[in-house]
Amino acid sequence: MKHHDADKITEIFRMEQNNLFRLACYKIGDTDRAADLVQDLFIKVLNNPDRDDIKDLKSYLYQSLLNACVSIFRSAHNATFVPLDNNIIDDDYNNDDFMQEYNTITATLQQIPAEQRDVIMLHTIGNKSFAEIAEIVGTPVATVKSRFRYGIEKIRKTLNNNKL
């Protein structure tokens, strides 16, 4: 049994917060909700009475985040693709860039199975190595690598076909 004191949890959280936040943003397409989700996640882990039983805290954070994103995405699915507003207000330019990119990336990744999508997003957005991803999704590294490969391969073929 590993003991996770509050200082340790805070430290891991500080290190991972940017990656967790970005991953949540591109999972659910809403930066405000993503921020809330990450903040809630921290409080939940800190208040979890069983937190000492968690073997790998970092993996646990990512697993919990992915699960939370799935439920949010399901409940809000009908309202996700909001058409872009052309009247961009000054300090909102970031969000506009984000929504465009979110829509492109989501549409591209929709073509591949969810487990391949998770591996790819943990890698390109969460900046996790394949070994770390294996811990998070609970499969051998070889499986993670082949999911990445099949996912990329499928998208590559589609992009090539569209070009022709």
* Contacts to another protein by CB under 8 A: 5-8, 10-11, 13-19, 21-22, 25-26, 31, 35, 38-39, 42-43, 46, 94, 97-98, 100-102, 105, 108-109, 120, 123-125, 127-131, 144-146, 148-149, 152, 155-156, 159-160
Complex with another protein: residue 70 or 125, whichever CB lies closer: 125
Closest approach of another protein to the CB of residue 148, in Å: 4
Complex with another protein: residue 78 or 158, whichever CB lies closer: 158
State how far the Cα of 111 lies from the Cα of 124, in Å rounded to an integer.
Answer: 17
Closest approach of another protein to the CB of residue 48, in Å: 13
CB 129 within 8 A of CB 145: no
Closest approach of another protein to the CB of residue 131, in Å: 6
**Residue showing tokens 């070009």:** 163
Closest approach of another protein to the CB of residue 25, in Å: 6
DSSP-assigned letters across all residues of 25-81: HHHHS-HHHHHHHHHHHHHHHHH-TTGGG-S-HHHHHHHHHHHHHHHHHHHTGGG--
Complex with another protein: residue 19 or 64, whichever CB lies closer: 19
Complex with another protein: residue 24 or 54, whichever CB lies closer: 24
Closest approach of another protein to the CB of residue 41, in Å: 10
State how far the Cα of 150 lies from the Cα of 155, in Å rounded to an integer.
Answer: 9
Complex with another protein: residue 78 or 106, whichever CB lies closer: 106
State how far the Cα of 2 lies from the Cα of 158, in Å rounded to an integer.
Answer: 46
State how far the Cα of 68 lies from the Cα of 153, in Å rounded to an integer.
Answer: 28
CB 134 within 8 A of CB 143: yes
